[in-house]
Structure 1
């Protein structure tokens, strides 16, 4: 099957002029032509362009992205991290954090995610490390800079996981509760969904109730998940209004929801793995 330039531009969500520019400047053009000389893209051409869109979306310069886009990504299955590997990884990451060695933390985090995947690394390495650093800060009253730099490194590594591109259903809309500022767990869920080829969007921190309801109405995601780390923040979420909106499954996550009564039909996954499976199950319906 082949596609016209207009069809490809629509599939990728880019302007036809962008497609033409990438062809003229970087040679990312169609490999086929009709008898009349009209350009036609085949599936392989479109896949290269998908990688180009993803790379430029991550901030890679267009010329460099074009080179990388032509390279076939290696098919590699993630292997769950073993207990021994997790212990060693935590030691290495914590040592780098205490030295404020951001480049090393970024390198370690990226390699762990590449080798073992988001869910395994988040649960076995990142969360234990961040909890330990947070406890040290709370006990000693020092080390806030260590905790912040470590969190920032994890955040950057998660955001570097390639996003799914192209047409398809919006699998999940992720949001913090109003006044909630902790976004790291949502970024972990988003990165894990990217590994599964799911499209998602995150509204980030401190999302007003009205804005969240408006976004759900406009986007109609398969799943809406709201994060809160304290009960007083969770109580600000308009669960009844969100639950009344058609088409989306409502879920909540984070320690702020523990013990709070939830309206019928609202789901509360207990872990990152559970949240990923919840979204995948909904998308498969």
Structure 2
């Protein structure tokens, strides 16, 4: 047997009490692929060492592993190429940090957490040098999960994931809808931000997109509902490779942040020198006039749609 797939649409608590599958106890040397959905299993036993893909989708009534158990599972799968785990009610945070999981063959890592308390512990325990897809989504996130020092959050990512990989990160409590780094094509960053503390996260996240390689073209989508102009300007200055910018809920203060006057010639130059396309959503008529004036006075350069 090379592959096992088990999908359970619903399991009640009384059924769960009578089922306990020691999935990782060995004895199936040919097994390479496991795909379980809402199916109970033990996490602490000796893991099959020849797995190439491991996909586990839990439910609110199926207990997940502790952070150390998850790291141990991954560490015992040196040939693992793809890992996906989603929808567990809780991942228990271990009191002491376990060992590091080196996964030299892993190309795809997906982890969706309903409780992000163990987020840093899991990420900082990974070493996946060949990873090409890294997708982590944390729900019910609170600011103290990352402590006051967001550099730990950044360093955990940079240590775990090579700069050549695609990175997707969703943090719903920060309303950071999608953060994505691509090795080919565009980088797309969507910001829907609520609260000043969220902005503290942006510098580390922007650093992650760049790493040690040149910026690729960027498409940025920014919801301005909860932002203030200087914050937007600060972010734009740090992303000079933006080629497409979409601003939602604009005002004249934001539009004027897109350009600044040159010396004594009455002209303006764009903050984003590589900008080719600008989309303004829900823009009042008077703001459009300000934008038209800026466009007419800007210095000659690359065309913009």
| Structure 2 length-normalised TM | 0.29
| Structure 1 length-normalised TM | 0.31
Name whichever structure is richer in helix by fraction. 1
Name whichever structure is richer in strand by fraction. 2
Structure 1 or 2, whichever has the larger Rg, is: 2
